[in-house]
Amino acid sequence: MKDSNVVVEELTFFYSGAKEPALSDINLTFQRGEIALLIGATGAGKSTLYMCLNGLIPHLVPGRVGGRVLIEGTATSDQSISALAQKVGFVFQSPDVQLFSHTVREELAFGPENLGLAKSEILRRIQLAATTIGITELLEREPAYLSGGQQQSVAIGAIWAMLPEILILDEPTSNLDPQSSRRVLELIRALNTEHGKTILIAEHKIDAAAHFADSVLVMHEGRIEMQGEPRQVFSQAEELHRMGLVAPTAAEVAFQLSKYGYTFDSWPLTAEEGIQAFGELL
Amino acid sequence: MTSAAIIETRNLSYSYPGGISALSGVNLDIGQGEFVAIIGSNGSGKTTLVKQFNGLLKPSKGRVTVDGMDTRSTRVSELSRIVGFVFQNPDHQIFAYSVWEEAAFGLKLQKLDAESVERQTSEALQAVSLNDLRDRHPRALSRGQRQRLATASILALRTPVLVLDEPTTGQDFLSRRQIMELAVDLHAEGRTVLMVTHDMALAAEYATRVIVMQDGAAVCDASPKEVFGREEILKATGLDLPPAAKIARGLREYGFSDTPLTQAELVENLITAIRG
């Protein structure tokens, strides 16, 4: 039997006073332990979708909702924001929006403290988050003076300490250099494969993120326009271009070559796959 | 295109309060009309370097001159007529109550007549496709739109030098292309463009010169072709090849000998090689 911990059915949302829906007819299912990549141009509705998943909609954001969102089998409208906060963790694009404490330790303690947990449990959560994320050596440091990559790791750790089953990350590498980006993406993948968390990640850095998702969701003007395995979605470069999006470089090059009549048994996504596919043509 | 240096640094060193050294012994001549990409890992000194160019930071040692003026003895208001600076985080820059007010603010400070303020502001907003939203509150814009507004408010000043700190961060593909086309147009008009970026493809595609920063020093300063040909530098500084160049390098073992930097060049070279 399928074990889905996120189910979105016929979801439509109008912001208060808006004539056009920000989301229309969204149907989605995430299996437990699935990692999904969300892409879409600015204004496609990604942020509105996040807010529907963590309950800010309908609890805090004024507007009109149609359809429903089930988190761990219960509709978000029937769960409190704080109950949802323990199930759905949200990591912001810029860690400096999220981080405010004097030490990393306090930052990691903040979520568990707000849940009203016992002191021993809070300490356990701090230790667990620091170990899992690999930031134990940073616990006494001040977040403001850490590198961008370290700050993003701390932001993920602070959410991890709440032990959510579902993690949403909004462009977690956008302020990071290539090496730190790779590390953060590797960390996210490890949280998925080693801990079985369900992960929804939005990224513009498609070359770095395309290959590691189980599925890709493409949003455009409030709708899910494409949905499928990465190779299937990214082989449709023309469709993506129409929505102001691009495929990874290897897939884009394959698309250009296909216009000259060259064909590919398996559509390349990564540089390595591109090298092999194009090498065979040479 | 390139003529006399508009920005010169001589033995430039800078330490943040508390003594943390951020720049050491940087010597650069930025020529008028250059399109320079400054790359390097987080914390390598890129942003600290460009903040010296409009006097936001002043050298601890050494000297920076902008259009012949020593930044240490020149007011920021004076320097900002030469160097326009678009911040990485638009929220550090935006404060007005409407898009138009925000974009017009710098011009009003320069005490330009109302007609010129209107014209230059509208043109700048048009260039970033925000003229239709001119009465909107900046907080009601998306992050990508706020980044473009921050760019417009500097564009309106029409400074000969433009510093773009991570201009495409958080931008989708279309906005990224739009911002870069704008930078290309400004460069074609003869303006000097300095761009701090983590995006190697961006540096490879648009810059005429690439400066690599590491631990506060300029460790490599050459054409994109040369910089991205020096793998040892990229490895040592934690940077990547642009994706197209990475594919091309891997194709060497298949006898591919071209060294394209951009996707378009790679496609062109591949087609020629396959047909050959």
Structure confidence at residue B147 as a pLDDT band (50, 70, 90): confident
Mean pLDDT of B171-194: 88
pLDDT of B176 higher than 70? yes
Classify domain B1-82+159-240 at the CATH topology level.
Answer: Rossmann fold (3.40.50)
Give how many domains chain A has, as a whole number. Answer: 2
Tell me B241's DSSP state.
-
Taking the C-alpha atoms of residue A152 and residue A155, their distance in angstroms, rounded to an integer, is 5
pLDDT of B1 higher than 50? no
| Helix H or strand E encompassing A24 | strand A23-31
Mean pLDDT of A131-144: 91
Residue type, A260: Y
State the Cα angle at B205 between B204 and B210, rounded to 5°: 40
Chosen for mutation from B88, B246, B275 (greatest number of chain A CBs closer than 10 Å) is B246
Taking the C-alpha atoms of residue A246 and residue A234, their distance in angstroms, rounded to an integer, is 8
A74 shares its domain with A172: yes
With beta carbons under 8 A apart, name residues in chain B contacting A262.
274
A15 shares its domain with A142: no
pLDDT for B38 equals: 97
User: Can you read off the two tokens belonging to residue A113?
Assistant: 């403290």
Mean pLDDT of A225-238: 96
Least confidently predicted of A90-99, B10-19, B93-102: A90-99
Residue with more model confidence, B17 or B239: B239
Q: Tell if the CB–CB gap between A177 and B239 is shorter than 8 Å.
A: yes
Chain A CA closest to residue B262: A249
- The answer to whether the beta carbons of residues B135 and B172 sit under 8 Å apart is no
pLDDT for A173 equals: 87
pLDDT, tens only, A13-60: 999 999 999 999 999 999 999 999 999 988 899 989 999 999 999 999
With beta carbons under 8 A apart, name residues in chain B contacting A256.
263, 267
Residues 113-132 of B with CB under 8 A from A: none
**3-state helix vs strand vs coil in chain A, percent to 5:** 45, 25, 35
């959510």: which residue's tokens? A164
Boundary residue ending a domain (A228, A246, A273): A228
Residues 120-139 of A with CB under 8 A from B: none
Chain A CA closest to residue B170: A174
Q: Tell if the CB–CB gap between B267 and A257 is shorter than 8 Å.
A: yes
Structure confidence at residue B146 as a pLDDT band (50, 70, 90): confident
CA of A260 to nearest chain B CA: how many angstroms apart? 8
With beta carbons under 8 A apart, name residues in chain A contacting B251.
275, 278-279, 282
A37 shares its domain with A49: yes
CA of A271 to nearest chain B CA: how many angstroms apart? 5
Cis peptide before A268 (omega within 30 of 0): no
A218 shares its domain with A146: no
């704080």: which residue's tokens? A82
The beta-carbon contacts of B258-261 under 8 Å, at least 24 apart in sequence, are: B259/B225, B259/B229, B261/B204, B261/B205, B261/B224, B261/B225, B261/B228
The answer, for A154 touching chain B at a CB cutoff of 8 Å, is no
With beta carbons under 8 A apart, name residues in chain B contacting A148.
42-43
Residues 41-60 of B with CB under 8 A from A: 41-43
Chain A CA closest to residue B166: A175
pLDDT for B6 equals: 97
Q: Tell if the CB–CB gap between A179 and B145 is shorter than 8 Å.
A: no
Tell me B159's DSSP state.
-
pLDDT, tens only, A193-211: 988 999 999 988 899 898 8
A10 shares its domain with A146: no
pLDDT for B129 equals: 87
The answer, for A45 touching chain B at a CB cutoff of 8 Å, is no
Least confidently predicted of A203-212, B45-54, B246-255: A203-212
pLDDT of A228 higher than 90? yes
pLDDT of A114 higher than 60? yes
With beta carbons under 8 A apart, name residues in chain A contacting B88.
175
Mean pLDDT of A122-151: 90
pLDDT of A181 higher than 50? yes
Structure confidence at residue B15 as a pLDDT band (50, 70, 90): very high
Structure confidence at residue B163 as a pLDDT band (50, 70, 90): very high
| Average model confidence (pLDDT) across chain B | 92
Residue type, A253: V
Residues 6+ apart with CB under 8 A from A19: none
The answer, for A278 touching chain B at a CB cutoff of 8 Å, is yes
Taking the C-alpha atoms of residue A107 and residue A159, their distance in angstroms, rounded to an integer, is 10
Q: The domain that contains A82 carries what CATH number?
A: 3.40.50.300
With beta carbons under 8 A apart, name residues in chain B contacting A246.
173
Residue type, B197: T
């023309």: which residue's tokens? A238
The answer, for A207 touching chain B at a CB cutoff of 8 Å, is yes
pLDDT of A97 higher than 90? no
Compute the count of residue pairs across chains A and B with CB atoms less than 8 Å apart.
115
What 3-state DSSP class applies to B250?
Answer: helix
What 3-state DSSP class applies to B214?
Answer: strand
A126 shares its domain with A7: no
Q: Choose the closest CB to B42 out of A177, A253, A262.
A: A177
pLDDT for B274 equals: 94
Taking the C-alpha atoms of residue A213 and residue A208, their distance in angstroms, rounded to an integer, is 11
The CA–CA distances, whole Å, from B1 to B5, B9, B190, B196 equal 12, 21, 7, 21
pLDDT for A183 equals: 85
Taking the C-alpha atoms of residue A169 and residue A95, their distance in angstroms, rounded to an integer, is 11
What 3-state DSSP class applies to B200?
Answer: helix
Structure confidence at residue B3 as a pLDDT band (50, 70, 90): low
A46 shares its domain with A178: yes
Structure confidence at residue A147 as a pLDDT band (50, 70, 90): confident
A179 shares its domain with A145: no
With beta carbons under 8 A apart, name residues in chain B contacting A275.
247, 250-251, 254
Taking the C-alpha atoms of residue B201 and residue B244, their distance in angstroms, rounded to an integer, is 8
CA of B100 to nearest chain A CA: how many angstroms apart? 21
Q: Choose the closest CB to B173 out of A148, A174, A246.
A: A246
A80 shares its domain with A27: yes
Q: What is the DSSP string of B30-67?
A: EETT-EEEEE--TTSSHHHHHHTTTTSS--SEEEEEET
The CA–CA distances, whole Å, from B262 to A203, B242, B244 equal 21, 7, 5
pLDDT of B224 higher than 90? yes
Q: What is the ipTM of this complex?
A: 0.87
Taking the C-alpha atoms of residue B156 and residue B106, their distance in angstroms, rounded to an integer, is 8
Chosen for mutation from B172, B199, B257, B275 (greatest number of chain A CBs closer than 10 Å) is B172
pLDDT for A2 equals: 67
A220 shares its domain with A134: no
User: Can you read off the two tokens belonging to residue B213?
Assistant: 């920063």
pLDDT for A266 equals: 92
A5 shares its domain with A64: yes
Q: Tell if the CB–CB gap between B256 and A279 is shorter than 8 Å.
A: yes
Mean pLDDT of B255-275: 96
Boundary residue ending a domain (A163, A183, A214): A163
Domain housing A122: 101-163
| Helix H or strand E encompassing B13 | strand B5-16
- The answer to whether the beta carbons of residues A165 and A87 sit under 8 Å apart is yes
Boundary residue ending a domain (A163, A183, A206): A163
pLDDT of B2 higher than 60? no
Cis peptide before A58 (omega within 30 of 0): yes
Structural domain boundaries of chain B? 1-82+159-240, 93-158, 242-276
Structure confidence at residue A127 as a pLDDT band (50, 70, 90): very high
The answer, for B69 touching chain A at a CB cutoff of 8 Å, is no
CA of A228 to nearest chain B CA: how many angstroms apart? 21
Taking the C-alpha atoms of residue B106 and residue B97, their distance in angstroms, rounded to an integer, is 14
The answer, for B229 touching chain A at a CB cutoff of 8 Å, is no
The answer, for A148 touching chain B at a CB cutoff of 8 Å, is yes
- The answer to whether the beta carbons of residues B110 and B118 sit under 8 Å apart is no
Tell me A168's DSSP state.
E
Going by their DSSP bridges, the two strands B209-214 and B35-39 should be labelled as parallel
